[in-house]
Amino acid sequence: MKAPKLLLSVLACAAAVGSYAQNVPTHDSYVMPFDDGKSKPFSEYFREWEPGAPLSEDENFYISRVPLKQRFENPATQVDPTMTTDRKFCMWTPMGISDTYWQSLPRYVFDGDNFSMWSYVDSQGGWSLPWVRVPGAYSDVTHRNGVANSGGLVFFDSWGGDNTESNNSVNMLVEKEGGQFKWVEKFVKFLRYYGLDGVGINPEGTVPQASALQDFFSQCREYAESIGWQFHVYWYGTNTNDGYMNLDSDFNKSKSDWLWKNGKQVVDMYMLNYNWSGTLASSANYAEGLGADPYTVYAGYDIQGKWLSHGNWWDIKNAKASIAFWGNHTTNMIYQNSSEYGSGDEAVQNTYLVKQEQVFSGGNRNPANRPAINSNVTSSSDAGMKLFHGIAEFLPARSVLQELPFVTRFCLGNGKTFRNEGKVTFDHKWFNVGVQDYQPTWRWWITDDNKNVPNDPIDCGFTFDDAWFAGSAMQITGATTVSNVRLFKTNFDISESDDVSMVIKLNSGNDTHMKLFWSFVGSEDQLHYYDITGAKEGEWTKISAKASEMGMNGKVALIGLKFENTPANYEILIGEMSIIPAKTFAPVQPTITTAESNILKKRTYNSLDFKFSWDCASTKNDNDPSIPVYNEDVDTWYFEVYVQAKGEDPILCGTTSSWAHYVVGAPVSANTEVSDYRVGVCAVAPDGVTKSAITWTNYMTTGLTLIDGIVCNKSVIKAGEEFTLSLIDPNQEEPFSWEIYNATTGGTAVATQDGGRSFTTSLNEEGYYDVKLTKFDLSELNYRGYVQISPESTGAIPSIEDFTASKTNVTNADEEVTLSYTGNKGEGTVSRGLRIDDPYIFRIPAEFLPMNQNQYTIALWIKPEKFTFAKYGMGLIGQRDLNISWPDNNWGAIWVDVWPGIANANNEKDLPANTVSFSMWGDAGRGYQDLKYPVNGATNPHENPNLACCTDGRFAGTTTESYSLSENQWSHIVISYDGAKQRIYFNGKKTGENERPKLTYRQVNNGSKTVTEAPIYIGGSRVYFAGFIGEIDDVQVWHKALSDNEVIDAMKGYDGREIPSDLKGYWTFESDDYNEADKTFENKGTLSTDAKAAYVEIRGSGGENTSKNEENLMPANINVEGNPAMSGTMPITTTSTFSIPDAEVVNNGDNATATFSKDGKYSVTLTLTNGWGSATMTKDEYIVVVLEGSGVEDNLVNNLTVYPNPFIDNVNLQFAADGNYVIDVYDAQGRLVTTRKHEAMAGEICTLTINGGKGVYYVAVSKDNKRIRTLKVVAE
C-alpha cells in the first residue's frame, strides 16, 4: 500500500519549514456535524431525532456541558450605582471566522474570534450559525458568563436567496396534531439537550404561516419555563404581522404580533431596523403600552455599514430601550476591524482586545473615565475609538461570580503554545474558546484612593507570550502613583478556612508594589488590603493564605489589586487567582467511547493527529435522556487530553470543556523506530487541582502520511560551491531523479542525479534555478527559483578549515591560551533591502503612476518571511484611494495578492499555495468585472485570484507549469499593462497574460466619483487581506510595458548602468538614497518630482471606512541584506566567536585568549557568523588543564612529596595526613595514563607504576573529591 502524501511549502535553501499564520485552518476538518457531511437541512433530521441518538460520531462536540449561569445585581458595585439594570445588550453578530464551518469549533491556529467582554452582553445571537447545529464550545463560553446563546439563524431572503429550507423549517414546526402544535415539546427539549437558549430569525422576505409561527414561539416559551429552561427568539423587525417584509424602522401595530400577542411574549429580542433615530422612544413606549417589557425593543446598529454612527445614542439614553449590534454575515466586525496594527495573528489578537475594551468600556478603556456621548464615531481606528463613550454609558457590567470555588488563569481561549505551570507542554498554536476563563468584570475600572481616575493609571491588559496555564496571562505594566484596579464583581460567601491564592511573575526585582483588596456586601466602598510579598524575579510564584489570616472571610462584593509607586519598567503577570473552599472533590473518571481503530487520524515523521470522545457516568438523565448532563454534575471543570509514545513520558496537549477533543500536530517520538502511541483523558475538578485518573487507550499505530519537500544546507551559494539538497521527510521514498534547470530560460537540465535521498552538486553560472523531482510514478514536484547562485562580491556563508590553540596542556592558572583559525570569511557587500512589517507600507507617491497612464510596469524583488492570509489572501501591491467609499477604497485601481492553496480551483486543477495574481478595477454593471475563469464557481475578483493573470499559467494556457512564492526566498515579480493586455512574470518567466480593458477607477457607492490620483502601496493589510511581512529590493515603476527580454534585463537592476528613460521610479534602498532626517527615499528613476517615497504607517485604515486615514512616516530599516545577486552598500562582515564552557574567553577580532581556573578537559567551539549564515566547528576535550597546587590545604600541600624525580618505571608518593585519596596520572598530551584509589595514613608511602615511556607526567592528587595538588614528574 502506498502511503498518503502531503506537500509542504519549504524555505529556499534553508533548513526549516514555515507555517501559515491565519484564522482559517489549513489542517483537516476532523469534526463532522453530520455523519454524511458538514451540512444537512434541519427539516430533514429533526423529525427523526431522539435524545441520545447522535447525529454524527462527533455529537459531543455539539453538546454544551456548562449550564446558563445566573447573574446577580448589586448597584453598590456599579460604576454608576444609579444606572438601570433593565437595559440589555445583544451581540447579534457571528462569533467565528469567514469559513462558517469552523465557527467556534476548536482548531489549531492562534487567531480567531475569542470575544471576552461578556460582562456587558446579555445575549449572543450567533448570526452565522446554522439552524440548529452549534459548537458546544460556543455555548459553554456564553453560559459560563451568564449570556444566553442562539441555536443559529433562519434567513428569509427577498434579495435573490433560496428560501426553500427556511420555509420547510417553519412549515414543519407549526404543524398541528389534534389542534395542538406537534413539535413544541420536542423542539424545546432538542434545544435544551444541546444547550441552546433560542433561535434567530432574519425575515427579509415573506415568512410563511406568520400567525401560527407567533403562537408556536409563545407556546415554546411557556413550555420551556415549565421545565426550567429558557427560550429566546432573536428577531429582526422587518416583517408585518401577516409575514410580509416591511423595512420601516419603527415598532407599531402592524408589527406588534411578533413581540406581544394575546397578552403573551412572542420574541424577546426585537431589533429595530437601523433608521430608528427619532422614533426609538415611541417604539419602546408602544411596546410598553401593549404590556410588553419596553427593553425587549432593541435599537439596531449595523456596525458593518456605519460602524457606531448608525443611530443617535442620545435617543437610547432617553428611552426605555435596549441595544443590539449586527455585522456582518460571517464575521463580528469588532474582530474584523482589528487589523489596524497588522494582520498577523498576534497583531490582530492584541488589537482585538483593545477594540473590545474601547467599544464596551469606552475610548479610554476605563468605564469610570468615559468620553462624552458621541453619535459620529464612523471609524474603527484607534483615534476614532478614543472618542467613543462605550456601552458602559448605558448599562452596567454584569457578573455570575457567586459560587465557590473560584479559579481563573486568565485564559482567553487560545494560545501560541499550551503551558502548564509556566512550562510549554505543547508547542503549537491553538484556539478553543470553550475553555476561556472568567475575565475581569470591568476592563479596566481604575481609581485612586479617592475613587477619582488617576492621572497616571497603571496599564492593564493581557499577554500571550507567557502563561501559568493554557495560553495567556493578565499583564500589568508601567508607572503609577496609586491605581486601584477593580477586577471582579462578586457575591462570594468566603469562610475562614478557604484558601485564597495568586500565582504571579514579577519580571524585575522582588517588590511587587501590589496589594490584594476586597470589600464586603453592605460596605462596598470600604476597601480592605493584603500585601502581596514573596515574589521571585523572573519566576512564577504562588502566594497563598487562609481567608482568616487575611481578614477576607465574609460576604465579598468585589476583588481587585492595588498598585503603588511602580517604576516605569514595572511588569507583573497574574497567572492565576483562586478562592478554594475546604471541601473534597471527586471528578468522575471519563470512559473513552470511540473505537480505537478510529482515533488516530494522521501520522507524519514529526506529528500525530487524533480525535476521540468519552462519557462520564451520571444517573441524572436516566429517566429522561433529553436532560443534559453538565460537567458540574460529574464534579468536573474541564478535561485534560494527553498523548504518549510507547516508552516515553505523557504529553499534555490541551484542555476542553466538551466530552470530545481532537489534536493536530501532537509531538511524536524523536526515535523514528517508535510507531505506537496512546491517548488519554482525565477530568479536573472545579478547584483546578484535583484530578481523576487518566483513562488511556491501548497503544495504537496508524500508517505514515509522507510529506513531500526538500531542504538545502546553504542559504547563499556561489558559483562552483557545493551544496546539498535533501528530502525533508526521512520516510519519503527516494525520487527517480533530481534535475536542476535555469529558472528563467528553462532548456536542458544543468545538473541531474538518478535517485538518492539527497543530491550534492555545484553550479558554475550565477542565476536562479528550479529544482524538479520526478517520482517513480512519473509525477513531478517543482521548486521554483529554489537555488540561487550569487556573485562572490556579495559575500558568502563563512567556512572553517581548522582552528588551533597555542597550547593544549595547561598547568598554570596564569597561562593564557591563544586561539586562532583558518577559513573563508565570506565577506563582501550586497544590495540593501527594505524590511516591511505589517501593517507598515512602502508608499510610492501617486505621481509615479497617474490614472491616465495606459502603459506601465511594476517590478520588484521580494522575500516573504511568512504568509498570512486573513479571510482571502495577502496583499502585495495595490494602488488605491483611501478617501473614497467602501468597497472601492479597499479594492483599488490594481491589486496584486498572494493566495492560499485552493483545491480544484478551476477545471479540476488545484491552485498551489502562495500563487500571485494581478487584478484590475472594473465596472461591469455594479462595479466590478467578473473573473474570466471562475474559482470554485465564484467570479468576484475581489475575493478570488485572477486565474487569467497569475503565476500559475496552466489555467490560461500561458505556461504548462505553476510558480509560487516560498518563505525566506527571494523571487522577482513583474506586472505590466500595455493598454490592451495585462501580464505577470515570475523570476523572468511570463506566467500570465490576459486581454483586459482599462476602466476608470472610481467610487461607486455614495455617489459616483472618479479617482484622479492614488498612491502605490507595497505591503499593508486591507479588509479580508493580510499584509506582507518580509523584505523587498530594487523596486521599479515604468511608463511602458516591458517586453519579455526587457523583463529579464530588469531583474539585474541598474546599479552602474544607464537608467532607461521610461523607468520613472526606481528605489534600491541603499544608504545614500535614504534621507534619515525626513524619512524619505530619493528616486533614482527619471521622473522629476518633489514627491518622495517613504515607509509609512496609515492609521485609520483598518476597517471598511478609511476616510479618516492618517499617514505617518516611519523610520525605515534598510540594514538588512537584500537580494544576494545584486551588489550594493550593505557590508557582509564576519565575526568569529570562540567559546569554552567554564573558562574565561576574550574574543578579539579573529583570535581569542582563554584562561582557566580549575582542572578539566575543555571542549572548544568556534563559530563564524555573517549576514548569510554561520559555520561551526567543535573540538571535544581539546585543552587539558591540570593546575599545580590548585585547591590546596596548606598542611597537605607543603608535606605531600613525590620521589624519585626523575624516575624509572616507579614513583613514590608520601602522604602527610590520613584520608581517602584518588591519584590520577596524565601524560604531556593530557591523556589519562593510570588512576588509583588509596586509603592512606599520615606518612604512608604509595608506589605507582607508570609504563607510558619517557617524558613529562602530571600526578594529580584529590582528597574527598577535592583536588589538593598536582605534581610534575619526569620519566627517564
Residue 1197 has pLDDT above 60, yes or no: no
**Confidence (pLDDT) at 982:** 96
Spatial distance between the Cα atoms of 1108 and 955, rounded to a whole number of angstroms: 40
884 with 1009: CB under 8 angstroms?
A: yes
pLDDT in tens, 1222-1271: 888 887 766 778 888 888 887 778 888 887 778 888 888 888 777 777 77
Q: What is the CB-side half-sphere exposure of residue 1094 using CA atoms within 13 A?
A: 19
Class in CATH terms, 799-827+1133-1185:
mainly beta
Determine the pLDDT at residue 957. Answer: 92
Span 735-761, pLDDT tens digits: 999 999 999 888 899 999 999 999 999
CATH no. for 406-580: 2.60.120.260
Cα–Cα dist 509/512, whole Å: 8
Whether residue 926 is predicted with pLDDT greater than 70 in this model: the reply is no
What is residue 1169's predicted lDDT score, i.e. its pLDDT? 95
**At the fourth CATH level, which superfamily is domain 709-794?**
Macroglobulin (MG2) domain (2.60.40.1930)
CA 45 vs. chain centroid, Å, equals 37
Question: At 284, is the pLDDT very low, low, confident or very high (cuts 50, 70, 90)?
Answer: very high
Q: Give the domain 1194-1275 fold.
A: Immunoglobulin-like (2.60.40)
Domain 799-827+1133-1185 and domain 837-1094, same fold? Reply is: no
* Domain topology for 42-339+362-393: TIM Barrel (3.20.20)
Whether pLDDT at 4 is above 50:
no
The closest of 311, 247, 304, 309 to 279, measured between CA atoms, is 311
Q: Is 926 exposed, middle or buried (0-12, 13-18, 19+ CB in 10 A)?
A: exposed
Name which of 98-112, 179-193, 386-400, 965-979 the model is least confident about: 98-112
Percent of the chain with pLDDT over 70: 97
SS3 811: coil
Contact criterion met (CB below 8 Å) for 141 and 436: yes
**In contact, 900 and 867? CB cutoff 8 Å:** yes
Q: Residue 95 has which C-alpha cell?
A: 462569533
Burial classification of residue 1000, based on how many CB atoms lie within 10 Å of its CB (0-12 exposed, 13-18 middle, 19 or more buried): exposed
How confident is the model over 980-1002, as a mean pLDDT? 94
Alpha-carbon distance values, 1248 to 616, 632, 1222, 1238 (Å)? 73, 75, 12, 11
Cα–Cα dist 775/769, whole Å: 20
pLDDT at 14 exceeding the cut of 70? no
Q: Determine the distance from the C-alpha atom of residue 1110 to the mean position of all C-alpha atoms in its chain, rounded to a whole number.
A: 27
Question: Would you state the pLDDT for residue 852?
Answer: 94
pLDDT tops 60 at residue 346: yes
Q: What are phi and psi of 816, to 5 degrees?
A: -100, 135
pLDDT digits (tens, 9 = 90+) for 797-822: 999 999 999 999 998 888 999 999 99
The DSSP 8-state label assigned to residue 631 in this structure reads G
pLDDT at position 1029: 94
Q: Give yes or no for residue 21 having a pLDDT over 50.
A: no
List the helix and strand counts (H, then E) for the chain. 14, 85
pLDDT confidence band for 22 (50 / 70 / 90): low
The residues, any chain, with a CB within 8 Å of residue 1093's CB and separated by 6 or more, are: 842, 843, 844, 845, 1065, 1067, 1080, 1081, 1083
| Residue 732 in this model has a pLDDT that exceeds 50 | yes
Q: What are the C-alpha distances in Å from 107 to residues 413, 609, 1079?
A: 11, 12, 42
Residue 713, pLDDT > 60, answer yes
Question: Which triple of cell numbers denotes residue 1260?
Answer: 594529580
Q: What is the pLDDT of residue 1189?
A: 53
C-alpha 782/C-alpha 773 separation (Å) is 7
DSSP state of 279: T
What is the CATH number assigned to the segment(s) 837-1094? Answer: 2.60.120.200
Residue 200's H or E segment, with its range, is strand 198-204
Q: Is the pLDDT of residue 378 over 50?
A: yes
**Average of per-residue pLDDT across 639-659:** 98
Q: Percentages helix, strand, coil for the chain, rounded to the nearest 5?
A: 10, 40, 50
Q: What fold does the segment set 586-696 form as a domain?
A: Immunoglobulin-like (2.60.40)
Q: What is the DSSP letter of 1147?
A: E
pLDDT of residue 5: 43
Sole residue written with cell 598530551: 1229
Spacing of C-alpha 1127 from chain mean position: 37
Report the chain's mean pLDDT, rounded to a whole number. Answer: 92
Identify the weakest region by mean pLDDT among 29-38, 421-430, 618-627, 1200-1209. 1200-1209
Asked if the model's pLDDT at residue 711 lies above 50, the reply is yes
| From 34-38, 111-115, 476-480, 893-897, the region with the lowest mean pLDDT | 34-38
**Residue 923, pLDDT score:** 60
Structural domain spans, the chain: 42-339+362-393, 406-580, 586-696, 709-794, 799-827+1133-1185, 837-1094, 1194-1275
Start-to-end CA span in the chain (Å):
72
> Are 133 and 277 within 8 A, CB to CB?
no
Q: How far, CA to CA in Å, does 1227 sit from each of 74, 748, 789, 1251? A: 84, 61, 50, 11
pLDDT digits (tens, 9 = 90+) for 87-114: 999 999 999 777 778 989 999 999 999 9
pLDDT of res. 1231 = 75
Per-residue pLDDT, averaged over 229-235, amounts to 97
Of the two residues 101 and 315, the one the predictor is more confident about is 315
Is the model more confident about 1023 or about 791?
791
Give the pairing of strands 809-810 and 1173-1185.
Answer: parallel
Mean pLDDT of 1060-1087: 95
